[in-house]
Amino acid sequence: MTSTMQKHSLNKSTRIGVLYGGLSSEREVSLISGKNCYEALCRLGYENAELIDVDQNIARTLAERKVEVAYIALHGKYGEDGCIQGLLELMGIPYTGCRVAASALTMNKALTKSVLKDAGLPVIDSVVIKAGTVNGKPVEIGLSYPVMVKPINEGSSIGMSKVDKPEDLKDALKTAFKYADEVMVEQYVYGKSLTVGVVEVAGEAKVTPILELRPTKSEWYDLEAKYTEGGTEFILPAELNEETTRAIQDTTLKAHVAAGCRGMSRIDFVVDADNKFYILEINTIPGMTPLSDLPAQAKAMGIGYDQLVECILNTAVN
């Protein structure tokens, strides 16, 4: 906890504001996450928990409602990128999860990759393209096709495309630039999509079992696969050999620490046919919907949904 935030002992009468909704392209997912977390807090007996839909008047709302602790259930811009965290720091309100620096870092895919690479962790070759630099010019990326095109600071696969040939790159960039001024073009790696969680339990970071994600209707783990029931087959634990499993879980914790994360994170990987794996990105406020990964992973290690929510809540004051 930073010096600007008030010391607060958490109890069942603490005024908890569950911050959800927000202004990002991931608003609809956040509305579900926040509602689920709020309902869990109510079941746990927190009698003064309330849902707060975050808008541009959030500072006034927090003050008027005398919020003592903020439970952040926001996803994407302004909620997961350090903005709301910075505001809460200024207001002296303790909040859940990662602090400002780690939140801002991990929201930027290219900066995250740079930090992980410096820490000696495996990442995929990529380049960053800025808006306004490709008009009327051939786009030279120095990578072989296929590639993934990703807005540099969006989540939930929003604005992402898989590009199989050079002539399709400009259209993919045009789509991505609708969501960000910088776009990352990354070498596509054929393999299994994996995700691994980190949850702080009683102040100790614990790595979850590895979850393998097999899209049933799409080639890769896109927006539809993530949030359509039946769109993905979940393999938990992932079908990997013991050595690869241990190596990925060890790398997960190292990445969590290297990025300065606290409280929780979920780290996405791809592993190829030779069991060589790469980190794709770090999510600091993973989804808490019925179809989300972290609750399923926590359940597999004996942590139920309500207990997970309380573990996350405790990161605000510990």
Among 108, 193, 265, 283, which one carries the catalytic annotation? 283
Instruction: Give the Cα separation of 17 and 150 in Å (integer).
Output: 32
Supply the mean pLDDT for the chain: 91
Among 227, 231, 262, 292, which one carries the catalytic annotation? 227
CB 8 within 8 A of CB 91: no
- Tell me, yes or no, if 283 is annotated catalytic: yes
Q: Is the pLDDT of residue 1 over 60?
A: no
CB 130 within 8 A of CB 181: yes
Among 268, 278, 292, 305, which one carries the catalytic annotation? 268
SS3 call for 169: helix
**pLDDT the model gives residue 215:** 77
Among 80, 81, 266, 293, which one carries the catalytic annotation? 266
- Tell me, yes or no, if 287 is annotated catalytic: yes
Among 25, 103, 156, 157, which one carries the catalytic annotation? 156
Rounded to the nearest angstrom, the gap between the alpha carbon of residue 302 and the centroid of all alpha carbons in its chain is: 22
- Least reliable range by pLDDT among 34-48, 104-118, 144-158, 172-186: 144-158
**pLDDT the model gives residue 72:** 98
**pLDDT the model gives residue 159:** 86
- Tell me, yes or no, if 64 is annotated catalytic: no
Instruction: Give the Cα separation of 265 and 19 in Å (integer).
Output: 18
**pLDDT the model gives residue 156:** 54
Instruction: Give the Cα separation of 222 and 172 in Å (integer).
Output: 14
- Tell me, yes or no, if 230 is annotated catalytic: no
pLDDT digits 0-9 by tens, 247-280: 999 999 999 999 999 999 999 999 999 999 999 9
Rounded to the nearest angstrom, the gap between the alpha carbon of residue 202 and the centroid of all alpha carbons in its chain is: 22
**pLDDT the model gives residue 158:** 79
- Tell me, yes or no, if 82 is annotated catalytic: no
Instruction: Give the Cα separation of 251 and 93 in Å (integer).
Output: 32
**pLDDT the model gives residue 2:** 41
- Tell me, yes or no, if 81 is annotated catalytic: no
**pLDDT the model gives residue 4:** 47
Categorize the per-residue pLDDT at 221 as very low, low, confident or very high, splitting at 50, 70 and 90. low
**pLDDT the model gives residue 225:** 58
Among 81, 89, 154, 281, which one carries the catalytic annotation? 281
**pLDDT the model gives residue 3:** 39
Among 287, 292, 293, 305, which one carries the catalytic annotation? 287
**pLDDT the model gives residue 317:** 87
Radius of gyration of the chain (CA): 19
Among 26, 81, 154, 186, which one carries the catalytic annotation? 26
- Mean pLDDT value across residues 113-121: 97
**pLDDT the model gives residue 227:** 57
The DSSP code for 95 is B
Q: Is the pLDDT of residue 237 over 70?
A: yes
CB 154 within 8 A of CB 181: no
- What domains can you pick out in the chain, each with its CATH number? 16-96 (3.40.50.20), 105-122+190-314 (3.30.470.20), 126-187 (3.30.1490.20)
Please choose, from the candidates 76, 72, 130, the residue with its C-alpha nearest in 3D space to the C-alpha of residue 97: 72
SS3 content of the chain, % helix, strand, coil (to 5): 30, 25, 45
Output the six-digit token pair for 9.
């002992």
